[in-house]
Amino acid sequence: MRVLFAGNPSIAVPALERVFSLPKHICELAGVLTNCDAPSGKGCRLEATDVGRTAAQWGTPVLKVEKLDASAREAVSALHPDLLVSFAYGRLFGPKFLSLFPCGGVNVHPSLLPKYRGPSPIQTAILNRDAETGISIQRLAREMDSGDILLQEKIPLSGRENTGGLSEIAARKAADLLERALAGISDRSITDTPQNTADATFCHVFTKEDARIDWTMSARVIDAQVRAFNPWPMAWTRYNGARLFILEARFLDAEAPGAPGLVLRADKQDGILVNTGKGLLAVTRLQLETKKALDWRSFLNGARGFLEVQFETN
């Protein structure tokens, strides 16, 4: 069974590596479909996607396309794939494209579908302070993330995960689950289970503005925001006319007098304490816009007068 793997970011790389390493009686990697090289870094040098860069090391055919048009379909057809495997590719596949694959297509999605259909399930699970999330392997369908479920695995959450760390966990578990799914498809032992559309919930693409801290919210909500938006776009507030990114923090249930957003004091154990709408936020790692990230002690050494600053609340 020849597989075309479609994906872009680092979360999809372990799954791609697993497909590449599987014995040929299960599947063979025919090629990779990924986005075109894009400017990156201060020099705006063109760089390949993580998936594209990984596949190129093996000499695997890499198709970099801007649109899934007739020319893209022709290039895919020339690889003679049987099955499409998609993970964080970021585009919908139309019926003409899917018709190129005799065995259809499967998608890896980091949530327990039908919960959190859409592009940001990991961030959303952290923002909502869920007790668990998971990985779903599903059939590709016309409607986003609506296909039948092949396999699912739960991931318990401690309440201290950030998106970067949870993405790494999800990536490893996805590779294992995808291997099981491909083996089941190969020997026709796997069973499809339709999703209950009535239970479907959705998530959306986040922006930098979504990451702006509203200090009138509770410390628990802001703590989740800090974790959900790390490593991107980073939770932030205004300080001396510039963005101040809060990289690491945790909530404290203690109460203190003062307006939300007021920097109260530095605590040797907990860090910089900031008042919120309910509870305190203990900030331990910060970064001023255009500056490097610092632990709270180093930050205070270079920011005289920071204690008793009043952050904006809107």
Determine the Cα–Cα distance for residues 314 and 294; give it in Å rounded to an integer.
25
The helix or strand, by DSSP H or E, that contains position 203, with its residue range, turns out to be none
**Cβ-defined contacts of 205-214 (< 8 Å, 24+):** 205/119, 205/120, 206/120, 206/123, 206/233, 207/233, 208/233, 208/236, 211/235, 211/236, 212/236, 212/237, 213/237, 213/246, 213/311, 214/313, 214/314
C-alpha pair distances (Å), 68 with each of 36, 61, 90, 97: 12, 17, 12, 7
CATH T-level fold of 209-301: Methionyl-tRNA Fmet Formyltransferase; Chain A, domain 2 (3.10.25)
Residues of the chain within CATH 3.40.50.170 domain(s) are: 2-199
Q: What's residue 114's pLDDT?
A: 98
**DSSP for residue 306:** -
pTM of the model: 0.95
Fold of 2-199: Rossmann fold (3.40.50)
Chain-centre distance of CA 230, in angstroms?
Answer: 10
Amino acid at 230: N
41-45, 110-114, 131-135: segment of lowest average pLDDT:
41-45
- pLDDT tens, position by position, 194-218: 999 999 999 999 999 999 999 999 9
Give the separation between CA 88 and CA 53, rounded to whole angstroms: 15
Residues of the chain with CATH 3.10.25.10: 209-301
What would the pLDDT profile of 86-98 be if each residue is shown by its tens digit?
A: 999 999 999 999 9
Tens digit of each residue's pLDDT (9 = 90 or more) over 28-83? 999 999 999 988 767 778 899 999 999 999 999 999 999 999 999 999 999 999 99
Q: Is 104 left (phi over 0), alpha (psi -120 to 50) or beta?
A: left
What's the pLDDT at 45?
86
Q: Rounded to the nearest 5°, which phi and psi values hold at 224?
A: -65, -40
Nearest to 7 by CA among 38, 66, 51: 51
CA distances from 199 to 48, 112, 116, 194, 232 (A): 37, 11, 10, 12, 29
Cα-trace Rg, the chain: 22
